[in-house]
Amino acid sequence: MSVLEKQPSAVRPTERPAPVRRRRVVDEHGRRVRAWELALRYALLLGVLALTVGPFLWQLSTSLKGPTEDIFSSPPKFLPGDPTLHNYERVADTIPVWDYALNSLKVAGANVVTNCVGSALAGYALARLRYRGRRVATLAFILAMLVPVEGIIIAQFTTMRELGLNNTLIGVVLPGCVGAMNVLLMRNAFLNLPYEIEEAAFVDGANSWQRFLRIALPSVKGTLAVVAIFAFMGAWDDFLWPLIVLSDPSKFTLTIGLNYLHGTFANDERLVAAGTVIAVAPLIALFACLQRYFFRGVGEGAVKG
Amino acid sequence: MAASPTVEGVRRAGLVRVRRQLPTSPWLFAAPGLLIIGAFILYPFVSTLINSFTDRRTLIPGEYVGLANFRELLHDDMFWIGLRNSTLYVVGVVPALVLLPLLLALLVQKNIPGITFFRSAFYTPVVASIVVVGLIWVWLLDERGLVNSLLEAIGVGRVGFLSDQWLLLLSAMAVTVWKGLGYYMIIYLAALANVPRELHEAAAVDGAGAVRRFLTVTVPAVRSTMVLVGALSSVAAFKVFSEVYLMAGPDGGPAGEDTTLVMLVQRTGTGLTGRVGYASALSVVVFAVTVALMLLVLRADRREDTP
């Protein structure tokens, strides 16, 4: 997908030359976009922008409003009159929010490492190595991808209990620590590499580890980055599974902590707002830095279904 | 993407000199992945099927009870409420998620100045956790929240979005659509990039207006993507949990009337007194409907293919 903006190219002569040489906006085919159409487009874009980003800003604004400021006024006041970080201190006094953030970070970090390592290894085995049972292994991953997680959480929970891992962060990470879809994504990435180079290395006597680490892996960094980002986001944002597996408030992740905060202090909107800002800010920052991989992941993930 | 390695590069890397010490069985590569999906996806899937024929509880192994769980389902009001709400969710959410992101993609398709900013901004709700999104909207739709303040300011009066059973479900659907817009927009953008410009021009020369061009050129060209979006969003919508859980509360709103099927699975099967057997039977229904939805959407696609 091209996300480059076209520079306004040479202006075509028109019948009535404008007195001032205005910046002409052209579309991807070099045609001029008419002024009224452009105005309409921007109006619509700004409208959608208000709808999609506005709610986040309202939450931020609420979190910065002090205890004396009316947050229920009609018409509403969009900007805090006297911005304060007081509510963020209060969140930390009410729930161990930084511990929860650390738990989320641990879970998300572990999920990134295990998914990258596990799916790269398995993806390579499915794409490049020859052995009996490869088709069965591929089928196992495809089946696993098709199983709706919501339908097996109770059995996952009883499995965790049997392993004695319920109510632990390891228990939160384990079921998704090598995602079947990630394995298949890596498999496709390896399949798209030219085979001749690995063949040459094979002739030179390189074994499968050497071919994997030195040749194949460095060529699929892009897909690996996509896997890493979606593993991080998936673990950081996950709600249903941690809700089921964690019962001890000291082990909560941020999402479960927020749910707890909302359940206990629902009437304190400033407090809940501050909590949600803490939970969402890191991911928005990550997204702002690595947009390209987020968008690429959507494309590749959707094709796999 | 890194440049493809060359044969010379490989030789230079000195592969030959590395000692062969690690076992190189292909199964070793696949083992971690197979172990995880085997233990935590495929085994739980099979055990869900088996448990659905038992009266197993969290702390009691349970015994085979045949179809008793499924017979109980038929007389369980809560099951029918859950099935109704999850089905309504598909009916309400899917058309919006098939159409609105397509229109949004058309809006951000042209490379006008600043468009990358808009594309990214529209994607922000996708990045946020569903818990954050749910709580943001709980506050926005609160009796005294922003939406009601605005409605009052323009003279409509306050609406109990989160207290009425049906408005609650509708609000949750709106939140699901709001969160999904950006994701499907990106899918559609990729599809739209492959629509030949000439088709639009030919239609324009023939005197077709914007709406007509949309219906006769754009829609047929991205139809397979619309089917894909329909399949993805309908399966996701049927399994809805978080939005309703957060907005209606763990008990599913007034008298539990907003409970969805997955909420019921979670409520029935967890905790120390969880009825694992019965929750598994509920899960089997979730599977069955999910598979049916997929087949339905894919069949609709195939039927349209044959003239």
The verdict on a CB contact (< 8 Å) between B37 and A284 is no
Is A222 among the domain residues?
yes
- Distance separating alpha carbons of residues B276 and B60, to the nearest angstrom: 9
Residue A193 corresponds to which amino acid?
L
pLDDT on residue B195: 83
Establish whether the linkage from the previous residue to B26 is cis, with ω within 30° of 0.
no
Are A50 and A108 contained in the same domain? no
Looking at A84, A117, A148, which one is the last position of a domain? A84
Q: Judge: A197–B149 Cβ closer than 8 Å, yes or no.
A: no
Backbone angles phi, psi at B103, to 5 degrees: -65, -40
Tell if the CB–CB gap between A52 and B15 is shorter than 8 Å. Answer: no
Determine the angle formed by the axes of helices A153-163 and B261-269, rounding to 10 degrees. 20
pLDDT digits (tens, 9 = 90+) for A27-85: 555 566 678 888 999 999 999 999 999 999 999 999 999 888 888 877 788 888 888 89
* Residue A153 shares a structural domain with residue A231: yes
A56 shares a domain with A165? no
pLDDT at residue B304, as a whole number: 60
Domain-embedded: residue A15: no
- Per the CB < 8 A criterion, the answer to whether B222 and B195 are in contact is yes
* Whether residue A53 sits in one domain with residue A165: no
User: What is the dihedral sign for C-alpha B267, A283, A121, A196?
Assistant: positive
Residues 6+ apart with CB under 8 A from A49: B118, B121, B122
Asked if residue A128 belongs to a domain, the reply is: yes
Q: Is residue A12 assigned to a domain? A: no
Q: How many domains does chain A have?
A: 2
Which chain A residues contact residue B34 at CB under 8 A?
122, 137, 140
pLDDT tens for each residue of B231-262: 999 999 999 999 999 999 999 888 899 999 99
Q: What is the pLDDT of residue B16?
A: 45
Q: How far apart are the C-alpha atoms of A304 and B141, rounded to whole Å?
A: 36
ipTM: 0.86
What's the rounded Cα separation, in Å, for the pair B78 and A207? 59
Percent over 90 (pLDDT), chain B: 57
Question: What letter does residue B195 receive in the DSSP assignment?
Answer: S
Put simply, whether B146 touches A (Cβ < 8 Å) is: yes
Nearest to A118 among B36, B48, B149 (CB): B36
**Least trusted range by pLDDT, from A3-12, B12-21, B181-190:** A3-12
From B10, which residue of chain A is nearest by alpha-carbon distance?
Answer: A201
Distance from CA of A219 to the nearest CA of B (A): 6
Six-digit token string for A202: 């094979």
Q: Which domain holds residue A57?
A: 35-84
Asked if residue A218 belongs to a domain, the reply is: yes
Chain B residue with minimal CA distance to A238? B129
- The answer on A255 and A200 residing in a single domain is yes
Reported confidence tier of residue B17, pLDDT bands at 50, 70, 90: very low
Residue spans of chain A under pLDDT 50: 1-15, 17-21, 303-305
Select from B232, B264, B90, B240 the least CA-distant residue to A154. Answer: B264
**Position A97, amino acid:** V
Cα A238 to Cα A255: distance, rounded to the nearest angstrom:
7
Is pLDDT of B102 > 90?
Answer: yes
- What distance in Å separates the CA atoms of residue B102 and residue B39, rounded to the nearest whole number? 39
Cα A156 to Cα B266: distance, rounded to the nearest angstrom: 12
A238 domain-assigned: yes
Question: Who wins on pLDDT, B306 or B268?
Answer: B268
| Residues 104-133 of chain B whose Cβ lies under 8 A from any Cβ of chain A | 104, 107-108, 110-116, 118-125, 127-132
Residues A150 and A269 grouped into a single domain: yes
pLDDT tens for B116-143 read 999 999 999 999 999 999 999 999 999 8
Of A84, A101, A123, which one is at a domain's C-terminal end? A84
Which of A129, A158, A211 to mutate: most B Cβ within 10 Å?
A: A158
Decide: B175 and B162 in contact? Cβ < 8 Å.
no
Pairwise CA distance, residues B74 & A204, whole Å = 66
Residues of B in contact with A248 (CB under 8 A): none
Q: Is pLDDT above 60 for B75?
A: yes
Which position has the token pair 């452009």?
A: A38
CA distance A184 to chain B (A): 11
Indicate whether A71 and A192 sit together in one domain. no
Do A195 and A230 lie in one domain? The reply is yes
CB atoms within 10 A of CB B77: 8
User: How many other CB atoms are found less than 10 A from the CB of residue A130?
Assistant: 8
Is A108 inside a domain boundary?
Answer: yes
Q: Which of A27, A55, A84 is the last residue of a domain?
A: A84
Residues A177 and A249 in one domain: yes
Identify the pLDDT of residue A206: 84
pLDDT of A305: 38
For the cut 50, the answer to whether the pLDDT of residue B1 exceeds it is no
Cβ atoms < 10 Å from Cβ of B69: 23
Selected residues 78-107 of chain B with any CB under 8 Å from a CB in chain A: 104, 107
* Residues A172, A98: Cα–Cα separation, whole Å: 18
Q: Does A41 touch chain B (CB under 8 A)?
A: yes
Q: Is residue A24 domain-resident?
A: no
My answer on whether A40 and A151 are in the same domain is no
pLDDT tens readout for residues B153-166: 888 888 989 989 99
CATH number of the domain to which A118 belongs: 1.10.3720.10
Q: pLDDT value at position A15?
A: 46
What local confidence, expressed as pLDDT, does residue B23 receive?
63
Q: Do B129 and A279 touch (CB under 8 A)?
A: yes
B262: contact with A, CB 8 A cutoff: yes
CB atoms closer than 10 angstroms to residue B72: 15
Cα–Cα distance, A173 to A125 (Å, whole number) = 23
B111 contacts A1? CB cut-off 8 A:
no
* Percent over 70 (pLDDT), chain B: 91
A44 and A118 housed in the same domain: no
Whether residue A80 is found in the same domain as residue A124: no
Q: Cα separation of A167 and B163, whole Å?
A: 33
Please give the domain boundaries of chain B with CATH numbers for all domains. Answer: 76-305 (1.10.3720.10)
